[in-house]
Amino acid sequence: MTFFANKRQHIQWSIVIAIIIGITVALIIITSPFGMPSDASRQHADSDVNVAALTNNGKTAIVIDKQNEGYLWKINHKSKKHRLSSSKQVNQVEHVALAANGQVALLVNDKKLTRWNLKTNTTNPLLTMAEKINAIAISANGQYALMGLNDGSAEYISLNSGNVIQTFKDSEAITSVALSPDNQYAFTGSINGNANLWDIKTGKKSYSFSHQTPINKVVLSNKNRYALTHSNNSSTKIWDIKTGELLKELDIPPMIISSAKFSPNDELLAIGSKPQVLLLVKVKDNKIIKKWILPKKSFWKPTEIVIHDIVFTPQQKNLQTEDSSGYWRIWKY
């Protein structure tokens, strides 16, 4: 009997050990930091981040967390310039846009648009719209903005006066907007599956790019060569801005794009998706040349990370990202 009791006990311990090993392996798989950046990441917020933006030169970042606390970071200095406590003057921020000069940010809450002077750390309510603001873009010089509204219109406004300069009309809610770096074009994507390219000076539509399902993301390249559209059935297309021709549908895995950016020379495209995948695509070849998977926060809190913004720093051949876990990261390529 003693022999059988010992054998039974041995089997029980073997099962316990196997379970422990299984849990350990699962922990490694779930929390493994596949594709961690080669350079050190840096924490920009103590809690999950609701919205974030980087300047195109990668020198400035703004993050606003779930508690509506905002922080301005000067990347090269590796420290916060100051805490943007004035974010408490704005209800929960849903969208943010940061000017290339790093001096002005726009905050959106429902129907309200607020300008944030980052030099003086003061906020100025600009407009309260009749419709919900679904998307926002700011010009490189920080003087103009494009708002995508729930009634199917997009308004191009002066941030100095608050006056509407152009109104671009579609039939259903606008879900994404973009401005070309030279302020020549406005780009809008709608829930009706249309993405429209507009001439800002004339207010006329240049081209309409179609998908079968609602548009989630629109992006313009830096040299006015390409327009990117992404719909909620994971179709991602690149169009010729000058001719309106469909150049290619990207050969990438099914995903929902949360952020995308062309390199300064328009040759590369960085894509951040849900859940937590970062891709680097060579546009001409329609080829993924690098793929990273962001780590989940922990086994006990396996929240999927959203990449809020991406910028290229080509001199160092790297990408910078801000994500929902509160981290700024560098990715070498």
CATH code, domain with 270 = 2.130.10.10
Task: Please check whether residue 176 is in contact with residue 215, taking contact to mean a CB–CB distance below 8 angstroms.
Answer: yes
Residue 238 to residue 37: CA distance in whole angstroms = 28
pTM to 2 decimal places: 0.85
Whole-number pLDDT of residue 97: 97
Position 110, amino acid: D
Check residue 85 and give its pLDDT: 54
Look at residue 196 in the predicted model and tell me its pLDDT.
98
The total number of structural domains that make up the chain: 1
174 within domain boundaries = no
R_g of the chain, CA atoms, integer Å: 23
The per-residue pLDDT for 27 is 46
Question: What is the domain extent for residue 288?
Answer: 32-125+250-332
Listed in sequence order, the residues at least 6 apart from 276 whose beta carbon sits closer than 8 Å to its beta carbon are 293, 294, 295, 296, 304, 305, 306, 307, 323
300 located within any domain: yes
Distance CA 108, CA 128 (A): 10
Residue 67 has a pLDDT of: 84
pLDDT of residue 19: 64
Residue 3 DSSP symbol: H
* Residue 75 located in a structural domain: yes
Where are the alpha helices (H) located in the chain, listed in sequence order? Answer: 2-31
All residue ranges of the chain with pLDDT < 70 are 1-40, 77-90, 296-303
For residue 14, tell me if it sits in a domain.
Answer: no
Contacts of 268 (CB under 8 A, 6+ apart): 262, 280, 281, 282, 283, 289, 312
Residue 323 falls inside a structural domain: yes
* Residue 322 domain-assigned (yes or no): yes
Residue 295, pLDDT score? 77
Beta strand residue intervals within 56-119, DSSP E? 60-65, 70-74, 79-84, 95-98, 104-109, 112-117
CB 161 within 8 A of CB 140: no
* Residue 309 belongs to some domain of the structure: yes
**pLDDT number for residue 70:** 86
